Amino acid sequence: MMYLIINLALFTLLIGFLFKQQKAELTLSKRVFTSLGLGVIFGAGLQFFYGGGSKAIADTLEYVNVVGAGYVSLLKMIIMPLITVSIIGAIIKVKGSGSLGKISGLSIGILLATTAASALIGILISNLFALSADGIVQGAREIARGEVLETRLVSVESLSFADMIISFFPGNPFADLAGSRPTSTIAVVIFSAFIGVAGLTVIRTQPELGQSFEKFITVAQEVVRTLVRMVLGLTPYGVLALMTKVVAGSNYDDILDLINFVVASYVGLGLILLMHLVLVAFVGVNPLRYLNKILPVLTFAFTSRSSAGTIPLNIETQVKKLGNSEGVSNFSASFGATMGQNGCAGLYPAMLAVMIAPTVGINSLDPGFMATLIAVVTISSFGIAGVGGGATFAALIVLSALDMPVALAGLLISIEPLIDMGRTAINVSGAMTAGTITSRLLGEADKGIFDSEQDVESKNANA
């Protein structure tokens, strides 16, 4: 019991240090990176003193996770209100619904195109590193995970592509606002768009009522934005707890056994990030300035492993730092958290398929196989939200479509959290890339905000 008190006292001191930084009015970005470093040091210290998998670490992380999981829950709390009022407000400001099709079409198109490119990167990287499922040893956990995946495959195969598309529509918007389904985020986007268009009709046909509606939405937006800034101000504390949990809870022996796959995965993720920077450069965005502005968002996505939980920070950064329009930011962030995920739905399933291909007699460099794999990955990435589960279900869909043994996907369970951090960051990067390119192509970007050195969001968060 004494070790638990000591560990929690140290964790409390770290929180106190971050609070002192906040009082000193350091920018949010600096506090986030400080908390990231402190989380790594504290987590590594726990591993060093108590050893991996010890009861001391488990007991400590149970309480540390109150801060981390609590912060992620607060972020999820504000997702639906933020999306709803922002999209309605954006449509009303535009004073027309004609641009909605362009915004959604461009955003989704860019997400799917970058996912296809990510799958190609996964194929090439897997072959470059000569990854193979043959060299991976199956332990009890891996075998159990494989059996679970085979069971889940039954529910995945029962869903057609048409069923996935149908699941996007909000049959019960109130249930979707409560996040009752994997596709609730997209359903709320569609519902909010309908409300926005209906509001425009009222504004045009009944100006007096329309004026009241506009005022109501304006007030609602300001209240929700204030709420978002309050929650985002807690980001350093959440990152500290989340990073401590990841580092202290990792099994370094398993990581060393599969280090080749870990390194290959991060090389692939790095190439995808480079692709994102090249793409934004093509629309006149300085890639280095862009990367500097989105790093805090990617850092949180990395530590939280939640694309959906990153939506509020994603939108706030796109609007306040990148100068993207509110409508585009909301659409790209929402769609990017549920479809076309470059890391989870693009790179990862492609790498698994290439690893498994030799075990079933397939040449992974065969052009026909590569083209088929990229097509399957791209199509399945569009419907992953219909079945939920992120990278695991992406792998299930792709492997089953190619008639490959899905149980082999369970071989990587021991390093799943480590790889998933990078995948999530790339998912979010892909969403922000789609939003930036869409805003620039449609002429809805405020270049003055992007070129400004002033961190508007951080100052608001410190207020």
Q: What is the CATH number of the domain that holds 37?
A: 1.10.3860.10
User: Looking at the 3D structure of the chain, how many domains does it have?
Assistant: 1
Nearby residues of 97 by Cβ (< 8 Å), 6 or more positions away:
91, 196, 197, 200
* End-to-end CA separation in angstroms for the chain: 39
Using an 8 Å Cβ cutoff, are 289 and 295 in contact?
A: no
Signed CA dihedral, 429, 431, 434, 436: sign only: negative
pLDDT at 434: 96
Nearest to 384 by CA among 339, 429, 423, 425: 339
**Residue 95 to residues 197, 266, 369, 389, 444, Cα–Cα distance (Å):** 9, 44, 48, 38, 14
pLDDT tens digits, one per residue of 38-58: 998 998 899 888 887 788 888
Q: pTM of whole model > 0.95? A: no
Label residue 257 by pLDDT band (50, 70, 90). Answer: low
- What pLDDT is stored for residue 139 in this prediction? 45
Q: Is the pLDDT of residue 85 over 60?
A: yes
pLDDT tens digits along 119-130: 999 999 999 998
Closest CA to 437 of 114, 16, 101: 114
Torsion angle defined by CA atoms of residues 119, 122, 127 and 133, in that order, rounded to the nearest 10 degrees: -100
Where in the sequence is the domain holding 391, given as residue range(s)? Answer: 2-96+104-462
Sign of dihedral through CA atoms 350, 142, 300, 107?
positive
Q: Are 68 and 241 in contact (CB under 8 A)?
A: yes
Name the residue with tokens 């994603």: 314
Q: What is the pLDDT of residue 259?
A: 82
* Burial of 415 (C-beta count, 10 Å sphere; 0-12/13-18/19+): buried
* Mean pLDDT, residues 18-47 taken together: 87
Contacts of 202 (CB under 8 A, 6+ apart): 209, 210, 213
Q: Each residue of 133-153: b (16+ CB within 10 Å) or e? A: beebeeeeebeebbeebbebb
Write down the mean pLDDT value for the chain. 82
Q: Is the pLDDT of residue 458 over 70?
A: no
The pLDDT score that the predictor gives to residue 160 is 60
Q: What is the pLDDT of residues 384-402, one digit of tens each?
A: 553 445 677 777 778 777 8
